[in-house]
Every structure is written in structure tokens, then in C-alpha cells.
Amino acid sequence: MTINTLRNFFIAAPMIYAATTRLAAANATMAQIVKLKEAQRAFRQAIKSGDAAERALGNERFHSIIGEMADNEYLTPSLRCLLIDHTRIGMTFYNPRKIHLAPQRELAADQHDQFIALIEAGDADAAADLAVAHWELSRAQIESFVKTESMANPLGRPPGATEMRGAS
């Protein structure tokens, strides 16, 4: 991912997640809700098991099903693209050695339960609001994982290095 790609990721993610979740609440079938509940059970199990890949892929599966529920040929490709990058970055968030993130992971799982309830109730506005809150839960952590010295120093000089003068 380039710096520009990351910037665009952070701009687009809350909009696309909110829009797909809003449509999911409006369009979900009972069979899809059952599928979402099954994905949530697997995600909760992955949170307990401690496997980073299972956690990240379980989260991706959950949100992919929400995308299927939205049933929008314009949003679906954008959601898929976001979920690929979110899953790759999420491998760090879901790392079981990062014990300090355990409360956020539990809150993310709790929010998944809230998604199910709101979608099942057909509450599109509350589901969209939850999607933004869910994004904000991980946004700061994702930013901290992807920020590097080179992002802070766009000229690419290592920290502490002095600029060479007179060189051409």
C-alpha cells in the first residue's frame, strides 16, 4: 500500500461501511441473517482461540456477508477492496500477543452482535451509525500500525539525518 492508498482507505472506509450496512438493514433476508449469525459465532470462537489469521478472516467474512445483504453492484467491489486491505492490516490488530488490544477486540465482537440485532430489526440509520463507530474503534489502532518514520518524513531521510547541502 502506498501513502496515497492508505489516505484513500481512511477516507473511503467509513463511507462504504456505513452505506453497505444501511442497505443491509433494508435488504437482508432471514437466510442471510442466519448466515451472519453463524459467521459471528465463528468470529467469537476465533477471538477466544487467539489465532490472528482466524480473527482477521472471521471479521472479513462477517463484513462480507453484510456486503452481500446490501446487494449493490456499485458498493460491493469497493467493499471487497476495502476488506482485503483491512484484513491485511487487521492481522496486526488481531495478534494475540497484543494483550492491550483485548478489550477493543471484545468490543468489536460485541458490536458485531449489535449489527445483527439492528439488521434483523431493519434499523438502517442505527446500523449505519454503528458501522461508523465500529470503524472508529479500529481506525486509531490501524493508523498506529501503518505509520512509519517515512510517513512522518516524506523526503525519506532517516530520523536524525542532516540534509546534504551543496550536493547536486
Reduced 3-state DSSP string for the chain: CCHHHHHHHHHHHHHHHHHHHHHHHHHCCHHHHHHHHHHHHHHHHHHHHCCHHHHHHHHHHHHHHHHHHHCCCCHHHHHHHHHHHHHHHHHHHCCCCCHHHHHHHHHHHHHHHHHHHHHHHCCHHHHHHHHHHHHHHHHHHHHHHHCCHHHHCCCCCCCCCCCCCCCC
Query: What is the average pLDDT score of the chain?
Result: 85
pLDDT in the model for residue 25: 98
Of 20-34, 56-70, 83-97, 110-124, the least confident: 83-97
pLDDT tens-digit series, residues 14-27? 999 999 999 999 99
pLDDT at 138 over 60: yes
Domain 3-147 classification at class level: mainly alpha
Single pTM value for the model: 0.81
